[in-house]
Structure 1
Amino acid sequence: MFKREADRAAALINRALEELGYGSRVFEMRPIPFPGVWGTSTTVCYQVANEQLSEELEQVTAGLSKKEAKRIVQARVRERAQAIAEQLASWLSTHGDFARVEAVNGYVNIVYDTGRFANEVLRTVLVTGREFGRGAPRGERVMVEYSQPNTHKAFHIGHLRNVCLGNALSRILRFAGFDVLEANYIGDIGLHVIKCLWCYLRFHQGEEPPREQRGRWLGEIYAEADRRLNYRNDVVELLNEIARDDQVFVQAIDRLLKELWKEHKVGEDIAYLLGQISHGREIKPEAFYDDQTIVKFWPIVGRQLEQELIETRAAAEQEPGARDRLAQLEEWYERWRRLAATLDWWPHVPQWEREVRETFQRWERKDPEFVRLWEETRAWSMEEFLRIYEELDVHFDVWFFESEVEEEGRQIVRELLERGIAEISDGLPVVKIDEKLGLEKETYRTLPILRSDGTTLYSTKDLALTKRKFEQYKVDRAIWVVDVRQTLYLQQIFKVMELWGFEQASKCYHLAYETVMLPSGAMSSRLGNVVLYEDVARQVLKRAREIIEEKNPTLPPAVKESVARQVGLGSLKYGMLSRDNNRVIVFDIEEALSFEGHAAPYIQYAHARACRILEKVDALPEGPYVLEDLTREESDLIEQIALFPDEVQRAADEYKPLVIANYVYELAKRFNEFYRVCPVLQAPEPQRSARLAMVAATRQTLANGLALLGIAAPEVM
């Protein structure tokens, strides 16, 4: 609402400039930067003074030194600006309903009438209700594409960050005045699907878990396939990591090599591997002579790690500095142990890789039996996704599926080749983006858009998908909520669309976000430390029930359950939205379950507290209210409420849900300060009526702000 007041003041200033003979113009209005003062300021008088004096000053300063000329110019302009400011201040004092208007050093400072402005804020909130803060229609259609889970994989907390960001941004844009379409692009085909179905056919054919666990089970099948196919790489990656970072291990291996070589009790294959490690050389899978080498070599590695663990545990009791090394050794030993449990996988990896390629060909030639299996298992994943979206109160207007745009993408590649936008390079259709844009410095590089064998790439399908957005859905701007690692790739897609002639390409935006990690490090399916959304949600809801039981045991059971869901899911969502999307989230279960501080339950409790106060009055007193002599807490609270419409527009313009997450936290904090210092129900009139209006306005604004984040506002807690 401050912007609305500033716009009103600017309109009056332009009217004054016209009547005073200076002519209207475009200029900025800035908030007066003094605590407890509501007002706005402008430097438009300097703008007018500079224009009026430009010719005169050129003559006056002719022949003077640069320093002397600058001094004279500044003095003359400041003097003229102050004179104009005084004229404006006099006019505005007569024609405006401001508390005061001042001309200070060429600035015009306008201070709002506290009572009028505060009443206008409260009246607007209470009259417009759920619509408070909504922007005027912008006349633009926006498509926000988010979530984009892969079928045949588990839905984990990393996916949750994407969903929370995309859904909150969609709600904010719609509230700010845009026509918004929420879209989901399901990765229902690709190498990950082929791997999963290969593993199912090879090792689990005929098995089927309970209906409610089928999506999760498919994710476990995929994780198993990934571990099997990457087994050799995981083995050598661990060996190289230890050899690179642990000199104690290297020295021990060197001693062992000399001893074994001296006694001639070691074969050439083991001696070679030990020698590679002791000389700090990188080991590759082909360094293992035959399939039995791993069987003989792996226990040697384990025994050495185990010995180091024993020695380091003892040292860590006396030397705190040894604890970091102990943690690293424990992590390595756990990886060694896990790999040791499946040593029999080693000889089969090449054959499995061939089988996966053959399975991919079954998809390419649309083998009916394979397609039926794909359709059935895809449906299992989709059931899980839909259940999770329903729980999170997330609903999509448009569904895209990767499998549906493959052929469309191939046709686009042919068109791009025919038009000279793409070309064949080393057997691949590519777009040399920098060259086509005439850029000398490497910026967007070259984008392959189809494999040499005619199979599609992500880019093939994304070009087709983007074309659909622009042509079929008539969007003016498109937003992709995708993790930061895809930044260059999406910039390449946008530039190809620009080269193709789509004007909307200039309004394509990538809302990048960083990963979600565990305190122990990055999540990995192969390492078995992925935290699934359903597991986290179950723990959060359980803890929320316990806390609601502690805080309000007299609530009816059904109400307790409802509030626990609102609080539990709210804490999860807020945890994903209250950090800048460019920062890594280190997800800690205990932190997510905290009901204190910068968290959703703190904000929700402020809303419930406001509800509890208002329950004790029959009806809200009608305004206008007596609001001239506000306390600091009252002033701060009304000021924060008034900011809401402007913050909605800022969050939309910057594509930043964090703006609203921070806003509702600050509003809750100011309300709690107000509640602590300012009695409401016990206050004498007319103070009581005014404060009840403040409580009602706070309740409504908190509810509106939380709704933009997809978070419920409980009436009791």
Structure 2
Amino acid sequence: MVNYKEEISKIIAGQVSELSEEDALELVEIPQDPAMGDYAFPCFRLAKLLRKSPQSIAADIAQAIADRPLFEKVEQVNAYVNMFLSKEMYTRSTLEDAMDGENFGKTNVGDGKLVIVEYSSPNIAKPFHIGHIRSTVIGNSINLIYRALGYKVRRLNHVGDYGTQFGKMIVAYRHWGNEQDVKDNPITTLLGYYTKFHVEAEKHPELDDEARKAFADLEKGQEEEVKLWKWFREESMKEFNRVYKMLDIEFDEVDGESFYSDKMQRFIDELKEKGLLEESRGAQIVDLEEYGMPPALITKSDGSTLYCTRDIATAVYRKETYDFYKNIYVVASQQNLYFQQWMKVVELLGYDWVKDCIHVPFGMVSLEDGTMSTRAGRVVFLEDVLNKAVEKTREIIAEKNPAADEAFIDDVAHQVGIGAVIFQELSNNKIKDYVFKWDKVLNFDGETGPYVQYTHARCASVLRKAGEETVAKAWNLDDVDFSYLNSDSAYALTRLLYALPQTVVEAGEKFEPSIITRHIVNIAQAYNRFYHDEHILSENEEERVAKVALTIAAKNGIRNGLALLGMKAPERM
């Protein structure tokens, strides 16, 4: 894809000998108002260098470059050089890239370097609730974005299968558990036990001591505790995998904190050797006061390990096993301080590659009546949200297409219903907190996933109506007369398609899928304006072929953008 900013910076640097191409590139802008050109060059910084007014410099540059074939028009407006690209050249170049099917939007920025993305990470024996969707779909999208940027990505699901909560679960099952109830409805039943434990522990504090002992026995490998723990894990993963299948999300590796239970002593020993470990009320800590943080807890007074110890072991294991370029953790913003703490401990241990461990935080989900709480049993199951979205979508499709085949309705309802939930999660900046509301999640109007998917289906419909012969000519850009794509609506759409690859790069740099979400909404809106403003299937064959070519490009852009969010692009709706 032609980098027009670079081309323009070369042209301007060629006219201003005192200005390097790199400095010129920093100054080239894209005006917010298209009436000000495709690109603009401000001359304020050149005034002192050239000892002339910025307006005079802009006039000289505009006159000098106006006859370049790259430009349709060059204007001086005050201290700016406003440049309008040759529309036909720009459109041809953009459509050549957009016709590259599934590769459109991809680059090779990553050059095959290995990136680890850890996401989802639900807790064993606890509900896979709506709060987990953020890490799950944000992480999956980051994985897809980095693949599109040419990185090799290893997808990790680091499930919470260790810690004192399992001591509580084991104790609760011993007191009130029933094996058949767990088999019939594992998560709901285990959640009930967990909730009951906290209620009973308020009245009988000795239950907490019993739970701590049970977890200590689990760490020591006691047979009964290990057997119960493995069973809880297996039953939980069955339910989790059902949700992952609905979301079409896969992992290269599913491990848990337990995997690192035999790898932690090494780092406790290293901390002792380096004189970093201190005792505090029987617990072992690393004092981080010098760095403006509270101490990092390494082991409890009873000798059992903590999250910090396990995460240190996990990071080192990943570096030694995979030699990653980046190790990305998609974890809620509530853990910001914690990540700073354990990463500082890794740095103090002398592992300078810790700078390549990146915490990608996101905002929290709450219910309309307050924050979700597993202990209180106040949660919304993610599977229920997905099923409800699919069912609502099915009702809408069946109502609008009463003669449609049942299999078709089911397939599209799944794609659009699941997509609506994913898109809603990724439509806002990830760091924002939000309140979960059924009516908002299931609202298909406005700038939503179904709107973008419908636009893709509209493109597909136009291509079917155009016929195979016209579509074949449109794919071969040698048969396209680009003068038919000079209208405002066609050019606005073309500019958005041109920006897609750089948008993907920006989303990767910022770990922000909402950048792509917003961009494909813009593409969908631009195509719909083009669709309404232009007669695409014109009787004039040359005009029809050109407009079908732009429809193909828009369809590819929307489909590939949706794919980066983990969504499907239906051919019919």
CA RMSD of aligned residues (A): 2.5
Q: Which residue of 2 aligns with 1:100?
A: 73
Structure 1 residues 35 and 427: alpha-carbon distance in aligned structure 2, compared to 1, 3 A threshold: same
1:136 to 108, 113, 118: 108
1:634-645 matches, cutoff 5 A: 634-645=490-501
Structure 1 residues 694 and 456: alpha-carbon distance in aligned structure 2, compared to 1, 3 A threshold: same
**Identity fraction in percent:** 31
Offset of 1:682 from its aligned partner? 3.8
2:92 to 119, 136, 150: 119
CA contact (8 A) 1:413 1:429 kept: no
Deviations 1:639-698 (A, max 9, x none): 222221121111111111111111122222222222222221146454322221221111
Q: Which residue of 2 aligns with 1:627?
A: 483
1:577 to 421, 426, 432: 426
Q: Which residue of 2 aligns with 1:217?
A: 189
1:472-511 matches, cutoff 5 A: 472-511=321-360
1:153 to 126, 135, 138: 126
CA contact (8 A) 1:125 1:701 kept: yes
Structure 1 residues 187 and 526: alpha-carbon distance in aligned structure 2, compared to 1, 3 A threshold: closer
Q: Which residue of 2 aligns with 1:400?
A: 255
CA contact (8 A) 2:9 2:22 kept: no
Offset of 1:89 from its aligned partner? 4.4
1:704 to 532, 549, 560: 560
| Alignment pair present for 1:164 and 2:137 | yes
Partner of 1:580: helix, strand, or coil? coil
CA contact (8 A) 1:548 1:564 kept: yes
Deviations 1:110-130 (A, max 9, x none): 32111211222122201x111
In structure 1, distance between residues paired with 2:127 and 2:163: 15
Offset of 1:600 from its aligned partner? 1.0
| Alignment pair present for 1:665 and 2:521 | yes
Q: Which residue of 1 aligns with 2:219?
A: 364
Structure 1 residues 683 and 172: alpha-carbon distance in aligned structure 2, compared to 1, 3 A threshold: farther
In structure 1, distance between residues paired with 2:20 and 2:533: 49
Q: Which residue of 1 aligns with 2:382?
A: 533
CA contact (8 A) 1:410 1:456 kept: no
Rg larger in 1 or in 2? 1
Offset of 1:94 from its aligned partner? 5.0
Q: Which residue of 1 aligns with 2:33?
A: 34
1:158-557 matches, cutoff 5 A: 158-210=131-183, 213-229=185-201, 232=202, 346=203, 349-435=204-290, 443-557=292-406
Unaligned runs of 5+ in 1: 53-75, 233-345, 438-442
In structure 1, distance between residues paired with 2:392 and 2:77: 58
TM value normalised by structure 1: 0.74
1:33-52 matches, cutoff 5 A: 33-36=32-35, 38-43=37-42, 50-51=48-49
Q: What is the number of residues matched between the two proteins?
A: 563
Partner of 2:456: helix, strand, or coil? helix
Q: Which residue of 1 aligns with 2:412?
A: 563
Offset of 1:217 from its aligned partner? 3.1
Which sits farther off after the overlay, 394-403 or 560-569? 394-403
1:591 to 407, 419, 440: 440
In structure 1, distance between residues paired with 2:447 and 2:59: 46
Offset of 1:594 from its aligned partner? 1.8
2:53 to 78, 96, 103: 78
In structure 2, distance between residues paired with 1:681 and 1:557: 31
Task: Tell me the amino acid that sits aligned with residue 53 of structure 2.
Answer: R
In structure 2, distance between residues paired with 1:654 and 1:683: 46
Offset of 1:33 from its aligned partner? 4.0
Structure 1 residues 110 and 376: alpha-carbon distance in aligned structure 2, compared to 1, 3 A threshold: same
Structure 1 residues 530 and 46: alpha-carbon distance in aligned structure 2, compared to 1, 3 A threshold: closer
Q: Which residue of 2 aligns with 1:11?
A: 10
In structure 2, distance between residues paired with 1:475 and 1:385: 27
Deviations 1:18-58 (A, max 9, x none): xx576654331211343256522334x65565446xxxxxx
In structure 1, distance between residues paired with 2:193 and 2:328: 33
Deviations 1:311-330 (A, max 9, x none): xxxxxxxxxxxxxxxxxxxx
Structure 1 residues 22 and 465: alpha-carbon distance in aligned structure 2, compared to 1, 3 A threshold: closer
TM value normalised by structure 2: 0.91
Offset of 1:107 from its aligned partner? 4.2
CA contact (8 A) 1:133 1:644 kept: yes
CA contact (8 A) 1:14 1:24 kept: yes
Structure 1 residues 579 and 48: alpha-carbon distance in aligned structure 2, compared to 1, 3 A threshold: closer
Offset of 1:412 from its aligned partner? 0.3
Offset of 1:586 from its aligned partner? 1.6
Unaligned runs of 5+ in 2: none
Partner of 2:359: helix, strand, or coil? strand
